[in-house]
Amino acid sequence: MSRWIIVNADDFGQSYAINRGVIAVFEHGILTSASLMVRWPASRHAADYARQHPSLSLGLHVDFGEWAYRNEIWLPVYEVLRTEHPDEYRRELAHQLNAFRDLTGQDPTHLDSHQHVHSEEPLRSVLIETAAGLQVPLRNFDPRIRYDGSFYGQSSRGYPVPRAIEVDSLVRLIQTLPDGVTELGCHPGDVDAHFDSMYRTERAQEVRTLCDPRVRETIRSAGVGLCSFEELRPDAKLARPQAQASQ
């Protein structure tokens, strides 16, 4: 295999509706990994499921807030910190990492962040330092892994882009993957009208697409191997795609 894909679900644990979607795509679709948000009541349900299904690679989805583009400006849905002091970020990150360990009984297999807030300072340096200490990949900062976030049903300002999460779009994405390992980000979930988030109805469409048999057949016919972050550990070898890729 020269092309591998990690299919990773963000926001695992943020709500029970999101958990149901992630679980559905893991059991009936092509999901191999998920990133856990530990600050939410549904995080224990997500972590318990992962404990019972160790083949689901579980990382930490660092959570410092969420912002939505409304009335032509970005507004906070919620914020965890109101400071940009690196020491405060370190303390909060340590708190979330310890919560992850308490919930799962292990270290995360990878790190990323909600709405990619670690792409800028001061959080960028803090997460790079933490990932190096854990010896795990950090999204967009590991040379072994190319991140692809194009499977997303909104524009950068939150406008609907439903075509991006249709089956045909995902099939083309898989067929044109470059050599090496690609992380495909996704955000599956059930629709929850009571959950305040800028990404809602798109989650259910992602579930349908990621579980569509045409997607699995494309992975097989294109000779792409499904893998997880767990398989990128120093003592693991990418010798073959997971069994689900050939079923």
Top pLDDT among 93 and 234 is at: 93
The Cα 18–Cα 200 span in angstroms is 9
The Cα 70–Cα 41 span in angstroms is 26
Active-site pick, 10, 11, 112, 212? 10
Reported as a single tens digit per residue, the pLDDT across 147-161 is 999 999 999 888 899
Residues near 77 by beta carbon (within 8 Å), at least 6 away in sequence: 65, 66, 67, 68, 196, 197, 198
Reported as a single tens digit per residue, the pLDDT across 9-54 is 999 999 999 999 999 999 999 999 999 999 999 999 999 999 999 9
pTM recorded for the entire structure: 0.92
Our count of domains for the chain comes to 1
Check if 10 is active-site: yes
Domain that holds residue 229: 3-246
pLDDT band at 237 (very low <50, low <70, confident <90, very high): low
The Cα 75–Cα 238 span in angstroms is 42
User: What is the dihedral angle through the alpha carbons of 109, 111, 113, 116, rounded to the nearest 10 degrees?
Assistant: -120
CATH number at residue 211: 3.20.20.370
